[in-house]
Amino acid sequence: MGSEPDDIEIIRSVVRGDAEAYAVIVRRYQDRVLRLCFSILGGMDAEDAAQEVFLKAYDSLDRFRMEASFSTWLYAIAYRHCLNLLDKRNRRKTESLDALKEKMGERADSLAAEPERSGREDAAAAVRPLLEGLSHDERAILALRELEALSYKEIARTLGISVDAVKIRLFRARAAFREAARSRNFPRPETV
């Protein structure tokens, strides 16, 4: 019984031309990347975004330094991709809301304020509103620490910030998240 090949072995195979080996990487990281995308994007289109992250990473594999941590590199791609998506989404929202306001006047505001519906009915969807008060950085830091158990150093490398900045933002994120959970009487896992 041989053990599973590590990330670097697989990536070397892919770069040498064995594209099918990339499926092992995708299966290994799909849930983690999806959770990060979900946390940053607030659920919207998280699965599509996660798939795009893997395709982007595939395109950039020849630029990956083999001595680095693949997971950190992948999370960094996911983080930047989600920020780009949010940026595009905000621009589209502003443009379409402006157009709608021109057409419909004040009623457009109330329509725009309606919550977006998600088809996913699980505990993750219930957590989504708790993330709303957090900045995108704070969401990413919270997810990378609480779900992926990355160290402060790894989070700092992933987001391109200092370790001190990670500590400050994680402190704020936890406080805001805990407050949101309390104010919504969010059920704690052991009481569910």
Partner 1 sequence: MNHDRAFQKLMEFYDGELAASEAGEVRSHAAACPECSNALRSWKEASEAAGGLGSLRAGPDFAVRVMEGVRGKDLAPADFTRFFQWKTAFALGAVFLFLAAAILRQEAPQGEGADPEVVSVPPGAESMLFDENEFGREEFLAALFEGGEETFQGG
Q: How far is the CB of 103 from partner 1 (least distance, A)?
A: 37
Q: Map residue 148 onto helix, strand or coil.
A: coil
Q: Map residue 102 onto helix, strand or coil.
A: helix
Q: How far is the CB of 65 from partner 1 (least distance, A)?
A: 14
Question: Quick check: 164 binds partner 1 (CB under 8 A)?
Answer: no
Question: Quick check: 51 binds partner 1 (CB under 8 A)?
Answer: yes
Q: How far is the CB of 157 from partner 1 (least distance, A)?
A: 15
Question: Quick check: 124 binds partner 1 (CB under 8 A)?
Answer: yes
Which tokens sit at 157? Answer: 């490398």
Binding mask 144-163 for partner 1 (x = CB under 8 A): -xxx---xx-----------
Question: Quick check: 47 binds partner 1 (CB under 8 A)?
Answer: yes
- Which residue's structure tokens are 């989070």? 155
Which tokens sit at 158? Answer: 């992933």
Question: Quick check: 15 binds partner 1 (CB under 8 A)?
Answer: yes
| 104 vs 144 by CB, closer to partner 1 | 144
Which tokens sit at 114? Answer: 């309606």
| 58 vs 101 by CB, closer to partner 1 | 58
C-alpha pair distances (Å), 16 with each of 13, 42, 61, 175? 5, 37, 11, 47
Please say whether the beta carbons of 22 and 51 come within 8 A.
no
